[in-house]
Amino acid sequence: MNPRKALSVELRGPIISVRDPEVYQVAIAPPLPIPSTIVGAIGYAYWKIGLCSGEERCMSRARETILKARASSAFSIKFSTVLSRYRGVLEEKRLPKDPNEISKFRDALVREYVFLDRFKVLILPSDDKYIGDIRRALLNVERIGDSESLVSISSIEEHKIEDCEGNTVNVVIRSSIASGGNYMIVRGLLENGEKSTLALPLMPEGSYYRPSDIQLEASRRVRCAGNFRFPDGGDW
């Protein structure tokens, strides 16, 4: 798995919500989408365009074809809201029999949302031969995160992967390989569903998060594709 090309995807929000994998009722959201959420959105899009069938097979296909799916730094703002949903209708697939039963169907939870006017995602295919399928799937992605997190694809560009100078990156990486710079740490899932601690190229500033760079060890090689800077190798 040594791709020579990468895809740069620009998405427009305005809001997304990606739940922290270790919380339940109060849904805390990281200020950038995590790798597994992006892969999940593409897996669902694979199903929509008929490249797979069933949730497990479509997720397996997405993980097979995508080596990395990493958001890049972008201005973002977080806020909380209370969602009221009639979960019983969706989960039990039936309507309340009478007004007294309505309260049993209704549920409320606090959820964090992130305002992102636009943001970019780096997609590294596991092999260049999958770029066509990934591009088709991306054009059918309609949400990143929960059901209210609607997005639209502004552009998809293909770039050659090249060596570049310096030791800073501007995409989400494992926190274990970060050695300096300005970044924040969150819990999340990698492309394969593995739990990890992630470093986001963002820094809180007042009521919003501003883009920043993450520094790697001087011996670590950095690759470039378009405006993305990311670590060499597969352990990030």
| Residue-by-residue DSSP string for 86-125 | EHHHHHH----SSGGGHHHHEEEEEEEEEE-SEEEEEEEE
List the beta bridge partners of residue 186.
198
What is the rounded average pLDDT for all residues in the chain? 90
Residue 87 has pLDDT above 70, yes or no: no
Q: CA 236, CA 39: separation in Å to the nearest integer?
A: 16
The band of 25, judged by pLDDT with boundaries at 50, 70 and 90, is low
Q: Considering only 18-27, 126-135, 221-230, which range has the smallest mean pLDDT?
A: 18-27
**What does the pLDDT read at residue 17?**
87
Determine contact, residues 143/152, Cβ cutoff 8 Å: no
**What does the pLDDT read at residue 171?**
98
Average pLDDT (79-99) is 70
* C-alpha to C-alpha distances, 164 to 129, 205, 216, 231, nearest whole angstrom: 24, 29, 13, 10
**What does the pLDDT read at residue 177?**
96
CA angle 232, 194, 72 (to 5 degrees): 45
* C-alpha to C-alpha distances, 228 to 8, 45, 53, 161, nearest whole angstrom: 8, 24, 33, 10
Helices 55-65 & 35-48, crossing angle to 10 degrees?
120
pTM: 0.88
Determine contact, residues 121/61, Cβ cutoff 8 Å: no
**What does the pLDDT read at residue 1?**
63
Cis previous bond, 14, omega within 30: yes
Residue 2 has pLDDT above 60, yes or no: yes
All residues at 6 or more sequence positions from 157 whose CB lies less than 8 Å from its CB, including other chains: 7, 8, 226
Q: Where are the domains of the chain?
A: 5-83+109-231
The two structure tokens encoding residue 12 = 């427009």
- Which range is most confident: 27-36, 57-66, 94-103? 57-66
More confident of the two residues 98 and 231: 231
- Amino acid letter, 44: Y
**What does the pLDDT read at residue 79?**
83
**What does the pLDDT read at residue 11?**
96
pLDDT in tens, 124-172: 999 999 999 999 999 999 999 888 899 999 999 999 999 999 999 999 9
**CATH class belonging to 5-83+109-231:** alpha beta
